[in-house]
């Protein structure tokens, strides 16, 4: 019952996925209850203020305290809900956005119209050497911490991997490091979540989560091919 909202979401394969799903559920419940209340008030007034014999329509300018309270009370309630959500979700923010665990693998990710470029540092783990390579898909090992060092070439994009509950804007002039740890092997979709132009919808690729051994030999093979060029 308590997770009926995230029940509609793609399978979670991130170590921090449950923290994100908790916040999505919490906000979903609050918004749902608020929607019922707001629609209830709307329909109440629709019926109670309908045309009646002998009653002339009047204009309310909203200057009395009683009229204003219809705005002020909801404002206070919404602010209270906001603070409650902040209170309940700050630990997730801290865990995911502030305290980055040490990286096992580092990728550079650049957004541009209209593709993601992934740069792997190769076997030596250092960028800017001959064994760097740029795979079409984001290939990572399972159960290891992956850092994504995200930049943008032209406009704002957003790297979105729904199964990882991962979404991070890429912003021209900024370098933003994100992280994740996948818990399951397989292929999962990657999209751009920031409308960036006509090709926004085709800015797709795949997250491929491999077993550690398969990942290692893939890196070795890609690096060797890069060095041979
Ligand atoms: Cu984009």
* Alpha carbon of 178 to ligand 1 centroid (Å): 17
**How many folded domains does the chain comprise?**
2
Burial of 170 (0-12, 13-18, 19+ CB in 10 A): buried
* Alpha carbon of 155 to ligand 1 centroid (Å): 8
Query: What CATH number does residue 195 fall under?
Result: 2.60.40.420
* Alpha carbon of 180 to ligand 1 centroid (Å): 21
Please choose, from the candidates 225, 205, 221, the residue with its C-alpha nearest in 3D space to the C-alpha of residue 213: 221
* Alpha carbon of 193 to ligand 1 centroid (Å): 7
Is residue 72 a part of any domain in this protein?
yes
Last residue of a domain, one of 51, 80, 98: 98
Is 120 in the same domain as 170? yes
* Alpha carbon of 90 to ligand 1 centroid (Å): 28
Is 128 in the same domain as 223? yes
pLDDT tens track, the chain, 229 positions: 556 666 788 999 999 999 999 999 999 999 999 999 999 999 999 999 888 898 888 888 888 999 899 899 999 999 999 999 999 999 999 999 999 999 999 999 999 999 999 999 999 999 999 999 999 999 999 999 999 999 999 999 999 999 999 999 999 999 999 999 999 999 999 999 999 999 999 999 999 999 999 999 999 999 999 998 8
* Alpha carbon of 192 to ligand 1 centroid (Å): 5
Q: What is the dihedral of CA 43, 45, 48, 51, to 10 degrees?
A: -100
For residue 191, the enclosing domain spans 105-228
Biggest alpha carbon–alpha carbon distance for the chain: 92
* Alpha carbon of 191 to ligand 1 centroid (Å): 8
The region that residue 30 occupies, defined by phi over 0 for left and psi between -120 and 50 for alpha, beta otherwise, is: alpha
Last residue of a domain, one of 98, 118, 142: 98
């Amino acid at each position: 019952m308590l997770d009926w909202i995230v029940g509609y979401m793609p399978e979670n394969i991130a170590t921090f996925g449950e923290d994100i799903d908790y916040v999505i559920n919490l906000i979903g419940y609050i918004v749902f209850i608020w929607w019922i209340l707001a629609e209830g008030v709307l329909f109440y007034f629709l019926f109670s203020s309908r045309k009646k014999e002998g009653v002339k329509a009047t204009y309310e300018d909203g200057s009395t305290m009683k009229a204003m309270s219809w705005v002020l009370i909801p404002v206070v309630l919404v602010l209270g809900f906001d603070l409650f959500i902040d209170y309940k979700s700050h630990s997730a923010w801290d865990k995911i956005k502030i305290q980055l665990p040490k990286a096992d693998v580092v990728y550079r990710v650049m957004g541009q119209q209209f593709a993601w470029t992934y740069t792997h540092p190769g076997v030596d783990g250092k960028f800017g050497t001959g064994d760097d390579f740029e795979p079409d898909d984001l290939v990572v090992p399972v159960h290891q911490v992956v850092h994504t060092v995200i930049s943008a070439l032209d406009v704002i994009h957003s790297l979105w991997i729904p199964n990882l509950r991962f979404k991070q804007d890429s912003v021209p002039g900024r370098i933003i490091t994100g992280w994740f740890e996948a818990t399951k092997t397989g292929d999962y979709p990657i999209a751009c979540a920031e409308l960036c132009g006509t090709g926004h919808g085709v800015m797709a690729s795949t997250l491929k989560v491999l077993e550690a051994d398969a990942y290692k030999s893939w890196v070795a093979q890609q690096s060797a091919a890069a060095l041979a060029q």
